[in-house]
Amino acid sequence: MALPLPPDELVFISSPALKMPAEVCLEALLQQRLIARREGCSSRHLLQKNLAEHGRSIDDFKGIIMHDDLHLTIQTVLAGSGIAFVSRSLINEYIGEGKLAEHSVTGFSCSRLRTIVYKRRHSENPTLTNFIDNIHLVFGLPTVPSP
């Protein structure tokens, strides 16, 4: 079974101390250190795809710090030590409080689809149904009735 979820939008984030404009040109962005996820991560794949469409690669950034700890990524960006490409939904609070600035690049496609996929035979598993109900609650979607 497949349950579609709302699309996910990714944005570049920086410390407001860097004073980067909301709409930034790719060349200016490449002058920053990138805090990136590991190979195989969908956000990194989307970033690499966008860069390739503009004749660039992840290696063109001023520097790269790689790790998979979201908290550490945010703390590194808050400290002004680089930029990151992350899901807006994960950092909305920081943006709303003015602790992080978000940026876009003209011509970058920064949206990805999300879906929950599971085997029909597990559809009555209470752990799975609770998980799905919680996901729907987070996204403000109606809960899905049991089959």
Instruction: From first to last of the 147 residues of the chain, give the pLDDT tens digit.
Output: 888 889 999 999 999 999 999 999 999 999 999 999 888 788 899 999 999 999 999 999 999 999 888 899 999 999 999 999 999 988 999 999 999 999 999 889 888 888 989 998 988 899 998 999 898 888 888 876 555
* 3-class DSSP assignment, residue 83: strand
- The bridge status of strand 2-14 relative to strand 83-87 is antiparallel
User: What stretches of the chain adopt beta strand conformation (E)?
Assistant: 2-14, 33-36, 63-66, 83-87, 101-103, 111-117
Which pLDDT does position 144 carry in this prediction? 60
Q: Are strands 33-36 and 83-87 parallel, antiparallel or unpaired?
A: parallel
Give the per-residue pLDDT at 76: 95
pLDDT at 147: 52
| Joined tokens for residue 23 | 């709409």
Other Cβ atoms closer than 10 A to 14: 21
CATH architecture of 7-113: 3-Layer(aba) Sandwich (3.40)
Closest CA to 33 of 58, 68, 52, 70: 58
